[in-house]
Structure 1
Amino acid sequence: MFAWAAGTQAFGEDILDDSSGPVFRPPLIKQVAAEETVPAVPPSVPTSRWDAQEPVQTPEGQPITDMGTACDAGCVSCEYPGLQWVVGIEQTFLWPQLSRTFLETGFTNSLGSIDYINDSALGSVDGAYLTAPRFTLGVRGECWGLVGRYWDASAWANTFIPAIPDSTQSGTILFDTFRAYTIDLEVQRRFCWRNWNMLGYLGVRHASASNDRNMWFQNTFGSDFLENQAFAGQQYNGTGLTFGVFGMRPLFCDDGALKVYFRNRYSVVWGNGQAVAQTEATAQNAVAFATSTDGALAIGDGGMFIAEVGWGLQWDTCLRCFPARAFFRTGMEWQYWDANAGVAVGSTSAADVVTASSYATTSAADLMFDMVGFTIGAGITY
């Protein structure tokens, strides 16, 4: 007779019954399992400082092994404790729109009165695109960082028109230079807002911008010789505060490395602005010669406001064989610069030799311009 044994003994242990007869023995699961040989798992040898750290945990306690895994739990990334170097380079491609005054020259003779006015993109960087690199270098911890940044945009343009004697087409040379650069040193603070990985920053900025323009004119009409020149220069240099925020989040919440980003930066600097204008006019014939030169310079103290706004896409991932994180980004960028140093000057020159006369006039004031374009960049945090 077979009988089930009841009692408090654990399933799988030997159970004996007081009654005579065979005793049913349930399978010795625990004993068999205990007798199986389980191969020892050697401890993993860290191949990088990433492996030597504990996995990052989400608020729900789940480990995070890649960027974007915690999309719904906040902004958890593959950043690990400790300081990291931040190195990046971007190339910006911008189209400046310069709010400038005019350069003008002209003459009057037997052909009539002819004026040459330059207030457009002719022979100018106004409206033409320029390239400007942006370098980033710093150190960043889990929350705080110290980062420096340098951005430099410069361009020049010129136009030459050959002279045809005894005609309204006079020899003309237009030359234009433009430069703007910034140097930043800022403290950064990482924080999270919903699913956005954010960086707030506050620091010191030095900013400089200048734009110089020159227009030269010359021609002959029989025995009459006419020559004019007009020059205008604008400049500003200042140091002050810069602040803003950068935000990034996965474009898709399925462990993707593709992210959307935005950045806003605003700067208020204090310094001095300068405006200069100079003109020259010359007229000459067989019996007379006349020339006139005039110039003006204004220097004033004041502030400049700079706004920078950008948005785009960033590919961002941890490097598996190197303790670092790499990114590649591209997007749009808009900048606005507005100086208020209260400087404005004008200059006019004229020369007359009865049979012909010439003149030149120009003006210059505070710098104000905006630039729009796109940016391509890459970098690494190590």
Structure 2
Amino acid sequence: MNTTPALHRTAFVFNGSFDKSIDSFTDYVTKFIEINRGNNRPLLIRISSSGGVPEVVFAFCGLLRQVQVEGHEVWVHVLSQLCNFTYMIAEVADKVYMEPSASFQFGQMTARVSGNIIKIADKKKHQQQLFDQLCDSIVKRSKGKLKKEEVSAWRAKHISAQEALALGLCDEVAPDPEPQEKPTNKSEWVMRVSGSFANQADIYNLQIALNIFLEDSANTGRPIRVYLTSQGGTVAYALALYGLLLEAQRLGHHVTVHVIGQAYSCALWFATCALKAGTVLIDSYAMLMFHAPWIDEIAADLDDIDDLVAVQLAVYKQTRALLKQIPGFTEALISEWEVGEDRFMNAAEAVSLGLGRLSTDKPVAA
């Protein structure tokens, strides 16, 4: 056994579905094994995933087990959501920690079968075997707190980070970052969040850039500025970047979120990632907007609609808690606004509610 002190970790970030498109991500892990053979460098995977193909997930889990066989611990950091079969990645890991706003989601397996009608029963049996492996992994990780009969009956089950910790499905819920002084002798690293949080590729690219920045020792203590103008988008994608910016602050980086245009819908609570430990600046021309989340059209059995809506309400409960970090966003105010029309605010009103301060940056004459 290699008993030398562990080397500094290697960290990868992933956001997406586990299907054939993960080949390049799998290549990174394979290369990690090759480069680090003979040492004990830990592998950290920062992850958000909507689910994927069971066999693809199983293959990735097998690769992670080989990482462990080679003498490396595997750590998993859940930034936003892990859904259905992708939870098995957490079950394989040596350590799992979650953002406070992260969650696990489980439901009945959707199966598609075709072919010889005489053999359909066998194909269904195979799908059931895949689902049983997921259920077994959840039960195993819970160390007896959950029973297979209970897990296999879950329909649209949402488990918050705090609930996951109590059930033994994760090891730790990451703490809130401590306030960081903004250094005056280091230049800011700048990232721009613009458009919609609905474009997964754009958010993933931002996460990759931020992950590379965080893992480069040359950037130790360097402050980060996020220029934000967004009409909103997909909650899970916004949470994935939100969680990584919280981690940046835990690692000692002062984060400034600078609202330069609009912060509508989920972009409003996204700005709170820097409210407690960093800085939130709002340009005087900026506009902000609150509304309760929307759901795309649901096509499901009547008996399933309530369960599906309940999951979305559970996620909203978590993002609602992020909004309540803003001093003026009281329970009474949110309850009033969420049943009304879209509530627009100018910069001065947002500041009066406690979401940061007006930007005093002035253009410098040439």
Structure with the bigger RCO (C-alpha within 8 Å, sep 6+) is 1
TM-score normalised by structure 1 residue count: 0.19
